[in-house]
A and B are shown apart, each in its own frame.
Chain A
């Protein structure tokens, strides 16, 4: 299969699957089989592309021109490859998990759910492989719109309201700021192609750079930079698989991935470093990291806590870009993968707890760990990875981010990373501790959900709710040992010819 065809397939395959899914509305088994098969096939294709990229090639595909000079085109570079592998790989896990969760909860409108899910993945692939900002923006918007029905899935007043916030903020920022920034770039640079070293050097008055960067940084609402983070907690009304894949992986990672792309390929790290245009962004990101962590500690709802944790972790990546050093970019890119793996574990565990017990508040979850050891075990590993302890994947990305801060001479930013790690411990580990060590307060009614028999011993959620988080927990562990491969993949981006390597 030629790389060009492969790229096209990664986008069209999930999109085409939606048709099959729609036809199979009344036959859930077949429908879910299609969903899984597509996920598997997509992953295989992406792996094939990964091999090509690791060999040093940058496969391209050109679809057609939308406007004169602005085309829908794709080019796989290492950053996009990384994001693509993460999204495609975790889709399989989530597809498995969705089956357990959606059936365990007897959700309605499941076909619509799977269709929107597939479109979202298709859009994520488009974002990952986009060759220019224009293509990226188009798929960015497709992603926003296709996830709206997922967030509003329950069709209750709360869901509608949450979905409204979700769409409102994402559309406002993307059309209100990002589109302006893109057109501005187009007007001054005459191109929107992603190029190593950026396209803006010498094209624009340096004093305007921070302003343009602000339009991008806040325009990429999916990166949840404060004060445009409200949509993320609001979107937690969605069913947990949605929160897991979309709000730990596809949507938010699309946001920070775009941020990295803009920093590396539109502005160029050198330009940012020499003009200091991103200095202010560093502080905003640092503020987001700390503020969101503190808010997370106050949240008793488990998913809300995880949501704020996500906001905080996303700003790590933004901060990595804003540091404007090679190591910062490396750390940021790595964190995309590491955080995705860790956070999806946590979300799936939260979902498993909900399916088994219908509990959402952390204070109600005392002692659950002894009943759901696998779920809580996975949660523990995921939490440690987020905190950044070896031997888990999260350790590496934090390591490189700290190195980046040191390299840029930003001691304060190193401090921010340290403090935030402590805060991570403070808001994540109590969940585990309560689960394992606190006694059961009050009568427990385990009569809801799938695990219906109230008794001692293990009472896990349905099998397909528990296996995926365990898999990703193992993934966190493996990432620690295979971080070198990610390093090799990202190396050409972070350290282009001529830059010194540590």
Chain B
């Protein structure tokens, strides 16, 4: 029984959540709903840990949905790259739930909590599905499952601030445009290859070569995913969405949603298209890298001038996405490793930071800098967590941020570009400024009279500290993350070697008459 279940693991983690989601809504009891959600998320986490463990040696798990062999059927294909992403997402997913249970008590009515959990699980389903699947169109479907759930989750913040509604609406418009662009790209790929399986696509695209259609397809996919992952300047939905969403959701999204979108981009860039496609090289060198650099500076500087910690951190997220893209845009394996390790490290760090800010919101009802004066004395644990996360954002040694910086600088120096290394450190110095604005206010300003805030409840502190501990532990001993990241980078680079041998489709399934050559 168990062994037959374990054979279905790649799909199980998605299915379990998908089934649990409507159950939450159907039972209608928020405590029961939470329990269901937690068990489901925990199951997903256990499965993804197991998957990560079994592919870290470089092997690949291929699961054929419904027994249909690829490339006809949908294939779930787990290698080191997406196992790593699955692990991150499900880890954050399970950590945020206990926190959310407490924090949403003060954010919206108890009667809607069941729907909250439903949306949460659907969002998690979508994110895990995106990462697990090996089918291009399936990516789109899961992406939209998660996105639709996300829009709803952001709108849950409306009880606290009605601007959450417009934030969610704008996010919906932008997100849908992004997803549609992505579909257009997939459509073009299908036109020239007649397949949707990513491994198969890779093989066939190599045969098709560099045509105008493949170029257009790549650019559409890049822009579509750029919108989803908040690539500068397509990030405009992000600050508002993160600022007004419920605290737990902000933390969850910041740590997962953009990361998964980035994974999709990487998967398409390096596995589906080969990285030496000329258009790709040009795009990365002359578009993505400059934009990443601009993001690192512009968004960091914008963060410096924010008056709200949540919004400040949101801008910082845009900047951090810039770091990841920069690593990727170096188009070397070291750069890709740096990007991927930062993907994990930033997820942990930002998750911890947003959770800590959520504790403030829970206790004093605000995350504005002006309201946090002297909070270090009344909520010492939360403030300490925030500071630790901030140090990691700066990249101080013994935090994960340092590991990321190290890999990034190393990768850029290896390509011989000292100036990129210089820009990386320069922009992390801006991080010093915005982090220190918070630290100074929290520790060195006198607390206002009559504030009765006390430390946040344990159920919120513990998840926060779990992530803080992770951000310190993986900063001190990065063996697991660095080996996983380099293994993931290898997997992305070499996925075609393992791809199924090219298979002829039925003769009745040629590209349409309209395919431009």
Give Cα A128–Cα B226 distance, bound, in whole angstroms.
47
- Contact flag A137-B421 (CB < 8 Å), given A65-B477, A172-B432: no
Least CB distance from B369 to A in Å reads: 15
Give Cα A164–Cα B441 distance, bound, in whole angstroms.
12
Which chain B positions have C-beta within 8 A of A142?
397-398
Which of A64, A160, A180 contacts B444 (CB under 8 A)? Answer: A160
Which of B398, B410, B476, B477 contacts A183 (CB under 8 A)? Answer: B410
Q: Name A122-140 residues within 8 Å CB distance of B.
A: 137-138
A138 touches B397 (CB 8 A): yes
A183 touches B395 (CB 8 A): no
A175 touches B414 (CB 8 A): no
Of the listed residues A141, A168, A175, A179, the one surrounded by the most CB atoms of chain B closer than 10 A to its CB is A175
Give Cα A149–Cα B421 distance, bound, in whole angstroms.
30
Give Cα A208–Cα B443 distance, bound, in whole angstroms.
43
Interface segment, one of B101-109, B161-169, B422-430: B422-430
Give Cα A65–Cα B482 distance, bound, in whole angstroms.
12
Give Cα A137–Cα B406 distance, bound, in whole angstroms.
12
Majority secondary structure of chain A interface residues (helix, strand, loop or mixed):
helix
Residues of B within 8 A of A (CB-CB), count: 32
- Contact flag A64-B413 (CB < 8 Å), given A142-B398, A160-B440: no
Which chain A positions have C-beta within 8 A of B410?
183, 186-187
Chain A residue at smallest Cβ distance from B413: A187
A155 touches B409 (CB 8 A): no
Which chain B positions have C-beta within 8 A of A180?
409, 413, 418, 421-422, 425
B432 touches A183 (CB 8 A): no
**CB of B396 closer than 8 Å to a CB of A:** yes
- Contact flag A171-B429 (CB < 8 Å), given A68-B482, A145-B391: yes
Which chain B positions have C-beta within 8 A of A186?
410
B432 touches A179 (CB 8 A): no
Q: Name A179-215 residues within 8 Å CB distance of B.
A: 179-180, 183-184, 186-187
B477 touches A66 (CB 8 A): yes
Chain A residue at smallest Cβ distance from B409: A183
Which chain B positions have C-beta within 8 A of A137?
397
Give Cα A152–Cα B376 distance, bound, in whole angstroms.
15
As a 0/1 sequence over residues 301 to 335 of chain B, the CB contacts with chain A under 8 angstroms (1 = contact) are: 00000000000000000000000000000000000
Give Cα A163–Cα B397 distance, bound, in whole angstroms.
20
Which of B398, B422, B429 contacts A138 (CB under 8 A)? Answer: B398
**CB of A1 closer than 8 Å to a CB of B:** no
Give Cα A201–Cα B426 distance, bound, in whole angstroms.
29
Which of A67, A68, A183 contacts B421 (CB under 8 A)? Answer: A183
**CB of B479 closer than 8 Å to a CB of A:** yes
Give Cα A184–Cα B391 distance, bound, in whole angstroms.
23
Which chain B positions have C-beta within 8 A of A145?
391, 396
As a 0/1 sequence over residues 142 to 154 of chain A, the CB contacts with chain B under 8 angstroms (1 = contact) are: 1001000100100
Give Cα A149–Cα B403 distance, bound, in whole angstroms.
25
Least CB distance from B45 to A in Å reads: 26
Which chain B positions have C-beta within 8 A of A168?
432
B403 touches A175 (CB 8 A): no
Least CB distance from A271 to B in Å reads: 20
Give Cα A176–Cα B405 distance, bound, in whole angstroms.
11
B395 touches A175 (CB 8 A): yes
Chain B residue at smallest Cβ distance from A141: B397
Which chain B positions have C-beta within 8 A of A176?
422, 425-426, 429
B440 touches A164 (CB 8 A): yes
B429 touches A172 (CB 8 A): yes
Of the listed residues A64, A168, A172, A179, the one surrounded by the most CB atoms of chain B closer than 10 A to its CB is A179
**CB of A167 closer than 8 Å to a CB of B:** yes
**CB of B191 closer than 8 Å to a CB of A:** no
A183 touches B413 (CB 8 A): yes
Which of A66, A167, A179 contacts B476 (CB under 8 A)? Answer: A66
As a 0/1 sequence over residues 429 to 465 of chain B, the CB contacts with chain A under 8 angstroms (1 = contact) are: 1001000100010011000000000000000000000
Chain B residue at smallest Cβ distance from A160: B444
Least CB distance from A68 to B in Å reads: 6
Which chain A positions have C-beta within 8 A of B443?
149
**CB of B478 closer than 8 Å to a CB of A:** yes
Least CB distance from A495 to B in Å reads: 34
Which of B418, B432, B475, B483 contacts A171 (CB under 8 A)? Answer: B432
Chain B residue at smallest Cβ distance from A211: B418
**CB of B201 closer than 8 Å to a CB of A:** no
As a 0/1 sequence over residues 23 to 46 of chain B, the CB contacts with chain A under 8 angstroms (1 = contact) are: 000000000000000000000000
B432 touches A141 (CB 8 A): no
A64 touches B477 (CB 8 A): yes
A164 touches B478 (CB 8 A): no
As a 0/1 sequence over residues 61 to 94 of chain A, the CB contacts with chain B under 8 angstroms (1 = contact) are: 0001111100000000000000000000000000
Give Cα A263–Cα B397 distance, bound, in whole angstroms.
23
Which chain B positions have C-beta within 8 A of A184?
413, 418, 421
**CB of B131 closer than 8 Å to a CB of A:** no
Give Cα A137–Cα B395 distance, bound, in whole angstroms.
12
A67 touches B406 (CB 8 A): yes
Give Cα A186–Cα B428 distance, bound, in whole angstroms.
20
Chain A residue at smallest Cβ distance from B428: A175
Chain A residue at smallest Cβ distance from B374: A155
Which of B426, B444, B478 contacts A66 (CB under 8 A)? Answer: B478
Which of B405, B414, B425, B432 contacts A187 (CB under 8 A)? Answer: B414
B409 touches A167 (CB 8 A): no
Give Cα A498–Cα B426 distance, bound, in whole angstroms.
44
Give Cα A168–Cα B422 distance, bound, in whole angstroms.
17
* In the complex, the 3 A-B pairs of residues with the closest C-beta atoms, listed nearest first: A138-B397, A183-B409, A187-B413
Q: Which residues of B contact A (CB under 8 A)?
A: 391, 394-398, 403, 405-406, 409-410, 413-414, 418, 421-422, 425-426, 428-429, 432, 436, 440, 443-444, 475-479, 482-483
Q: Can you list 17 A-B contacts (CB < 8 A)?
A: A65-B477, A66-B403, A67-B406, A137-B397, A138-B397, A138-B398, A145-B391, A149-B443, A160-B440, A171-B429, A175-B394, A176-B425, A177-B425, A179-B406, A179-B425, A180-B409, A180-B421
List 17 extra interface pairs beyond A149-B443, A175-B432, A184-B421, CB under 8 A. Answer: A64-B476, A66-B476, A67-B406, A68-B479, A137-B397, A141-B397, A167-B436, A171-B394, A172-B429, A175-B395, A175-B429, A179-B405, A183-B409, A183-B410, A183-B421, A187-B410, A187-B414
